[in-house]
Amino acid sequence: MSNIQAYTEAVRVIKEAILRSQYRAASSVNKEQLSLYYGIGHYVSKNSREGFWGKGAIEAISQQLQKELPGLRGFSASNIKNMRSFYEEWSPFINRQPSAGNLKSSDSVSELELDENLLLMEIRQPVADEFKWSDFFAIGFSHHIEIMAKAKTLDARLFYIHESATRFWNKYTLRDYLKADLYNHRGTLPNNFTSTIPSAQQALKAVNTFKDEYLLDFINIEELDEQNEDLNERVIEKAIVDNVKRFMLTFGHDFIFVGNQYRVEVAGEEMFVDLLFFNRELNSLVAVELKSGKFRSSYLGQLGTYLSALDSYVKKPHENPAIGIILCRDMNQSFVEFAIRDYDKPMGVATYRATKDMPERFRNALPDIEELKKLL
C-alpha cells in the first residue's frame, strides 16, 4: 500500500468516526469527545509509531480532513498529535483494551472507544478525594492536554483532574494552578494543626487548604526598602488589597475577604490584623500576617494574641476557632517546625515569591505588564 493510499484510508476511517461521534447525544459531549480522541489517538499511534506511515503523514491527513469536512475544528496536525499523546499517556493504566467496533481499518484495529467502565490499573487515592471516572469525563480535552503537559505523575494528574471537575476551573484557572505547582505545595507548610485542632478530619482539611509557598507576581519588589520592614509590609499589603481577586485565586478555594488592618479591641488595647479572611470549607476566620523578611519566632506570639482576640470577640458561635498564617519572604522550615509545635492556637507559616524571585527564563516568558494594561 502506497503512502497516498494509506493516508486516504486513514482519512476515511477518521472521518467516519468523527461523523458518528457528532451525531451522539449532546448531553455527554465531553465523554463522547474524549472517547473519540482516545480512539483516534490509538489509531494514529499504532500507524505512526509501529506502522508504515511516513514523515509528514499526520500533517497530510489533517489537511485532507479539512478539505473533506469544511469547517471542522480541533483536527489540526498538532491536535491530532495531542490525541496520540492522550492515548499513549493513559493506555498503560487501563486494565483492558477497548472492544466492539467503533474505529476499524484494514489492519484490524478494533474499537477504540473509552467508557466509564475502563478502570485505571494503578489508581491511587489523590490528595483531594477519592478519584471517580465521572471526574475524568467532566473536563474537556484541552484541560487534559494542559494537565498532561505540566503534571508528570499519575497522582498529580488525578489531583488536577479531580480539582478541575469539582471546582469548575476553566482552562486559564487550571493553568494558574499548574504554574503555581499547587499539587506539590498543598499540605506541606509547617504547622501545628494536628495538635491544636481537635477534629482529625478538620485538621486534615486545614493542612490541605494552605500551601507552603505562594506566587504573588503582582508585588513590585523594586518598591521594597531593605532598611524598613514596616514600610515593606505596608507595600505588600497594599499590593494584595489592590489585587485581592488574584490573591484569593492564588491563596486557595472558598475564601471570603473580610478586610485589611482589621481592628480588634481587647481591654482598651487596639490590635490590627493585616489581612482577615473567612474560609467556608473550614468554617473559620483566617488571619494572615505579612512579613517582608525572614521568619522570626516572635511572629508566632503576636499571631497567637490576634487569634485569641478573634476567637473571643469576632468569631460567631457556630464557627470553628480562627486559624493564623504568617506569610514571609523566607524561612528555615526545620526551625519553624520546632518553634511552632508548643503553641496552642492553630498556625502555619508560608513563604511568598514575586516575579523577580523567579528564574530569568520564566520571567522572560511572562507578558509585559504595561502591554497587558494597554490591552485591557
Residue 314 confidence (pLDDT): 96
pLDDT digits (tens, 9 = 90+) for 230-275: 777 777 888 787 877 778 777 877 899 899 899 999 999 999 999 9
Relative to beta strand 255-266, strand 213-215 is: unpaired
What pTM does this model have? Answer: 0.56
- Maximum mean pLDDT: which of 1-5, 111-115, 154-158: 154-158
Same domain, 133 and 176: yes
Residue 224 confidence (pLDDT): 59
In eight-state DSSP terms, residue 46 is: I
Same domain, 330 and 194: yes
- Band (26; pLDDT cuts 50, 70, 90): very low
pLDDT digits (tens, 9 = 90+) for 142-197: 999 999 999 999 889 988 998 888 777 888 888 888 887 878 877 778 999 988 99
Same domain, 100 and 249: no
For residue 273, the Cα-to-chain-centroid distance in whole angstroms is 29
Q: Which of 102, 121, 140 is the last residue of a domain?
A: 121
pLDDT digits (tens, 9 = 90+) for 310-342: 999 999 999 999 999 999 989 999 999 999 989
Residue 104 confidence (pLDDT): 40
> Sign of the CA dihedral 232, 253, 210, 182?
negative
Same domain, 164 and 202: no
Same domain, 193 and 336: yes
Residue 141 confidence (pLDDT): 92
Q: Is residue 1 part of a domain?
A: yes
Same domain, 89 and 212: no
Cell of 184: 506539590
Spatial separation of the C-alpha atoms in residues 376 and 371, rounded to whole Å: 9
Cβ(285)–Cβ(310) under 8 Å?
yes
Same domain, 221 and 156: no
- Band (371; pLDDT cuts 50, 70, 90): very low
For residue 146, the Cα-to-chain-centroid distance in whole angstroms is 10
Distance between terminal CA atoms of the chain?
55
Any bridge partners for residue 325, and if so which?
288, 348
Whether the predicted pLDDT of 304 surpasses 90: yes
Question: Range of 302's domain?
Answer: 186-360
Angle at 144 between CA 141 and CA 146, to 5 degrees: 110
Say how many domains are in the chain: 3
Same domain, 127 and 110: no
Q: Is residue 368 part of a domain?
A: no
Spatial separation of the C-alpha atoms in residues 336 and 188, rounded to whole Å: 12
Q: Is residue 373 part of a domain?
A: no
Any bridge partners for residue 262, and if so which?
273
